[in-house]
Structure 1
Amino acid sequence: MTEETAVPVVVVMGVSGCGKSTVGRSIAEALRVEYSEGDDFHPEQNIAKMAAGVPLTDEDRAPWLDIIAGWLAGRGSHGGVVSCSALKHSYRDRLRAAAPEAFFVHLAASRDELAQRMAARRGHFMPSSLLDSQLAALEPLSADEHGITVDATRPPAELVQDVMAALGIRPSD
């Protein structure tokens, strides 16, 4: 990227198990910007609630979304990538209020694929039992939202290429 090129702010979104952290880190590396793990912004009570198998409410998510929105707003011309489930259009609106040019990357996969991934991972607070509540809350990107939906079962390197192309960034930039 050249100095004239705006460095994007990217939100990698989707339900638990879709690969937000892996793909988000890869996108940040390709863009040469900071990556932040959205789960790190959750208040302790949210993590405890999810770990106990209790779905978060909109009220539970509000402070978390505000913290992520603040992180996005602080990126300025430096750009950045954050993982955040951003399940609902209203959640994404809240993030866009702080970072109007945010580009959303929705990692989509089948319920079966997501359940397999969640069952295989270790050391994460989010139990597989919450997958259905996340899928029920998920509102895919709509036509009025700046972003793309990609198949999360594809290799991360291919997904990064798709994102870079959607952002209008050539590999040599």
Structure 2
Amino acid sequence: MPQSGPRGGMRPADRLSVMAEGIRVYDWYGDGRLLVADLGLACCSLEFEAAVLARREAELPPGPGPLAAPPQALAVVVSGTVPDALVPVVREAIDALADRVGRPAQVIAYGACASSGGPYWDSYAVADGIAQFVPVSVVVPGCPPPPGSLEEALAGLATDLEEAR
């Protein structure tokens, strides 16, 4: 069973056998049912980090080895502006995470830029939201969205996934 923080908070699932290299993956509830990764491309990634820090009492070192059991779900949070040049990289990162975890990724467009291009929507070099190149499960609006909105989105996603089983 994956280890969790001092009061059941989350702990980074930084096990190399479970993550795409260089992308931190968190066991959000500390029980392996939902792993969460952030592809933080700009400002909203700071709000993701605020949500992560609010869930745990202290920074804990990563546990050794792979997860004791495969996770039930993987959520990939894309936060920030996605330049057209990075579209293939974002796709590859999402696919690599899904392959490593062995589950399809549920993508969350976190913030106005990831959802619709934000204030850069009319730029020749910016994607008009990630839904144009990957399926998106949840859109979290805001510029920036408050950290609590990520918690709500993940709780709703976890509920939807459990009901679908």
TM-score of the aligned structures, taking structure 2 as reference length: 0.43
More helix by share: 1
